[in-house]
């Protein structure tokens, strides 16, 4: 396994992780690694659900006469990054 250092973690988050670690008799690092692993493992599934939701919303909007193209979405994303 690779080591990972997390900086600027809010105190409240660390304290909650520490409390969970004490309750489960494990280390803070083990609890944090477990959370990160679960979050990353569900990424593909979450992305598929998000895309399905976006497509459904787009279809609903189209049925109401509002058309949003892929180019519109890309332009909005780029505008938000500025």
Of 5, 61, 47, 44, nearest to 28 by C-alpha is 5
Please, are residues 17 and 28 in contact by the beta-carbon 8 Å criterion? yes
Residue 67 belongs to what domain range? 47-81
Q: Is residue 4 part of a domain?
A: no
Place of tokens 């919303």: 57
Say whether both 74 and 52 belong to one domain: yes
Q: Is the pTM of this model over 0.85?
A: no
Q: What tens-digit pLDDT sequence spans the chain (82 residues)?
A: 788 899 999 999 999 999 988 988 889 999 999 888 877 776 677 777 777 888 888 888 888 888 888 788 878 878 877 7
Q: How many domains does the chain have?
A: 2
Q: Is residue 51 part of a domain?
A: yes
Say whether both 30 and 51 belong to one domain: no
Please, are residues 66 and 59 in contact by the beta-carbon 8 Å criterion? no
Distance from the Cα of residue 72 to its chain's centroid = 23
């Amino acid at each position: 396994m690779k080591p990972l250092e997390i900086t600027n973690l809010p105190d409240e988050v660390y304290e909650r992780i520490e409390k969970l670690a004490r309750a489960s008799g494990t280390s803070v690092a083990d609890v944090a690694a477990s959370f990160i692993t679960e979050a990353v493992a569900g990424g593909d599934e979450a992305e598929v659900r998000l895309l399905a939701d976006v497509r459904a919303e787009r279809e609903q909007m189209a049925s109401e006469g509002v058309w949003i193209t892929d180019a519109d979405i890309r332009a909005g994303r780029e505008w938000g990054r500025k």
